[in-house]
A and B are shown apart, each in its own frame.
Chain A
Amino acid sequence: MSDNTNDLPNRQQLFLNLYQEVFPIAAKFIRKQGGNLEEAKDVFQDALIVYYERVVVGSGKRLNVDSNQGYLLAVTRNLWYKRVNEHRNFESLSKANEVKSEGQETHLSSMKLLSILETSGRKCLEILQSFYYHKVSMTDLASQFGFASRRSATVQKYKCLEKVRDQLKDKNITYEDFFERN
């Protein structure tokens, strides 16, 4: 949507504005639905991630709403309903099978992720995330990281990607390894 959200200070300002303007409305909705403050925070945080990935840096796929505020609220509502349904389904499944719910949830093993990526070096990690996650253009990336040209930034990006790829190759790590059970 906009290039200026690609760096951290601008992203922080964007999120701060969205918390100020949209979170109170989202909180009122979740309160009316019987949710508490912690649930409101969780759902809104997930909605912001969806909003960021789809609208701010994504391909611009939007729901049929005009404003970003409307989009964010629509995502918040959908995520809330999904959460409530999953909770209900999980409860009924637990009762039927007499399965304890505690400790069954999968969580992303961020430490494992970071340990792999950090072997490529801090700068590499930032370059790869900037390009592939935050969708920073190669021209902006070259400027941000002090490369002489777009071409030399591209070469460095591929060198970093090669390091990560080889790390995955050597350790024979699978996608499932990034999730662990508590």
Chain B
Amino acid sequence: MRTSLKEIENIEGFLLQKIPTDESLVFQSRMIINPELKYKTSCQQKAYEVIQLAGRVALRNELMAVENSIFKKSAFRKKITKIFESKN
């Protein structure tokens, strides 16, 4: 694996807490003396957040597709409609 990817792996270990505490402390020290590493770590954190948000958007689309398909089934639609037509 090339050096830049190895560095990404190390940053991931720190950010996703895959490494032991002592290694994590060493990584934090490296960030203090190396602003570029600190910046890359910050960008990588943002990348995880973007992936997480995009995953959630995609999941919501999947749920909407399932919801649409189940409400096309007459028996299910009637069952639910009846709930909202009835008095409390």
Alpha-carbon distance between A114 and B62 when the two chains are bound, in angstroms:
16
Cα of A87 to Cα of B13 in the assembled complex, Å: 41
Question: Contact at A155–B56, with CB atoms within 8 Å?
Answer: no
Instruction: Specify which chain B residues have a CB less than 8 angstroms from the CB of A55 in the assembled complex.
Output: none
Q: Which residues of A contact B65 (CB under 8 A)?
A: 12
Show the binding face of B for A, using Cβ within 8 Å.
Answer: 1, 4-5, 8-9, 12, 39-40, 43-44, 46-60, 62-67, 69-70, 76, 79-81, 83-84, 86, 88
Q: Which of B40, B56, B76, B80 contacts A133 (CB 8 A)?
A: B56
How far is the CB of A64 from the nearest CB of chain B, in Å? 26
Tally chain A residues at the interface, Cβ within 8 Å. 49
Residues of chain B within 8 A (CB-CB) of A114 are 54, 57
A169 to B47, CA, bound (A): 10
A residues in contact (CB < 8 Å) with B:
8, 11-12, 15-16, 19-20, 23-24, 27-28, 31-32, 34, 36-37, 40-41, 45, 48-49, 52-53, 108, 110, 113-114, 116-117, 125, 128-129, 132-134, 155, 158-159, 161-162, 164-166, 168-169, 173-175, 178
